[in-house]
């Protein structure tokens, strides 16, 4: 009996590890590794949130040990999966149709709106936004994006010391996502505006905890066959809906 239990335990432990390749390098992730080394914030992440992080890293070929992705959670709020701008660039450059990117700031200069190149601005300029153009070999026109500074400025130290660099980076990330929705549609950086975050947060914030290990295993199975970014979002939405239904059923039972 003891041997059977040991074998079952070994199988469970093996199932918790996920192995995949990133640029020819093998990456191995487990729930314990993510919780101990790849999570920041003061909240306790659930097995379900960790599993979602692991499966998204696997699907998007991200190496969290190179800071290409990490998990953030504060208090009882849902955990956020954050990716770096460098990860966006790597994903875009790996696409055979990627043909370069140009970006700059939008400033108010002597009562005129000026589009600069790069992150260079004058001391007298008032930064009002940023722009980016992503070029694809299979498209006649570039994907053009313009964003407003007031919508993205977080008033954090980096935004105060390097406002031009930060807003330009945000424009590049948004343009890359629009140009390559299949590759980048499910990824968001720390400075992004995830339009689905509030909706998902409202659905899961009040969710009562169930067996988180079981939920994590179910989520892993849901992610197993995803093939594009749209399906990743569909899985996230399905998980949020399942949580809402579980909450309603629990309330009805009480």
Euclidean distance between CA atoms 182 and 91, whole angstroms: 10
Q: Are 163 and 153 in contact (CB under 8 A)?
A: yes
Report the pLDDT value the prediction gives residue 220, as an integer from 0 to 100. 54
Q: Is 42 helix (H, G, I), strand (E, B) or coil?
A: coil
- From the CB of residue 212, how many other CB atoms can be counted at a distance below 10 Å? 16
Report the pLDDT value the prediction gives residue 252, as an integer from 0 to 100. 45
Is-above-0.95 flag for pTM?
no
Q: Report the run of H or E that residue 105 belongs to, with start and end.
A: strand 98-109
HSE toward the beta carbon, residue 71, CA cutoff 13 A: 29
Q: From first to last of its 254 residues, what are the pLDDT tens digits of the chain?
A: 555 455 444 444 455 689 998 888 899 999 999 999 999 888 889 999 999 999 989 988 899 999 899 898 888 888 888 888 888 888 899 899 999 999 999 999 999 999 999 999 999 999 999 999 999 999 999 999 999 999 999 888 989 999 999 999 999 999 999 999 988 887 888 877 544 443 444 444 444 343 444 445 555 555 555 555 555 555 555 555 554 454 444 444 44
């Amino acid at each position: 009996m003891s041997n059977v239990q040991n074998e079952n335990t070994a199988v469970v432990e093996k199932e918790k590890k996920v192995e995949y390749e990133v640029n020819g390098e093998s990456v191995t992730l487990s729930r314990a590794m993510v919780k101990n080394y790849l999570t920041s914030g003061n909240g306790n992440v659930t097995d379900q949130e960790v599993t979602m992080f692991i499966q998204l890293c696997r699907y998007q070929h991200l190496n969290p040990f190179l800071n290409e992705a990490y998990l953030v959670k504060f208090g009882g709020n849902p955990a956020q999966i954050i990716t770096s701008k460098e990860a966006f660039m790597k994903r875009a450059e790996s696409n055979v149709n990627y043909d370069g990117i140009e970006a700059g700031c939008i400033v108010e200069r002597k009562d005129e709106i000026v589009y600069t190149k790069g992150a260079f601005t004058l001391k007298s300029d008032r930064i009002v936004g940023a722009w980016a153009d992503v070029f694809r070999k299979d498209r006649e026109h570039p994907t053009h994006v313009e964003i407003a500074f007031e919508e993205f400025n977080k008033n954090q130290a980096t935004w105060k010391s390097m406002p031009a660099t930060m807003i330009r980076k945000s424009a590049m990330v948004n343009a890359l996502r629009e140009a390559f929705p299949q590759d980048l549609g499910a990824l968001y950086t720390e400075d992004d505006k995830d339009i689905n975050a509030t909706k998902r947060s409202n659905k899961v914030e009040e969710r009562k905890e169930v067996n988180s290990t079981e939920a994590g295993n179910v989520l892993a199975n849901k992610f197993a066959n995803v093939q594009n970014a749209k399906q990743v979002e569909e899985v996230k939405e399905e998980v949020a809906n399942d949580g809402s239904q579980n909450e309603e059923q629990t309330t009805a039972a009480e």
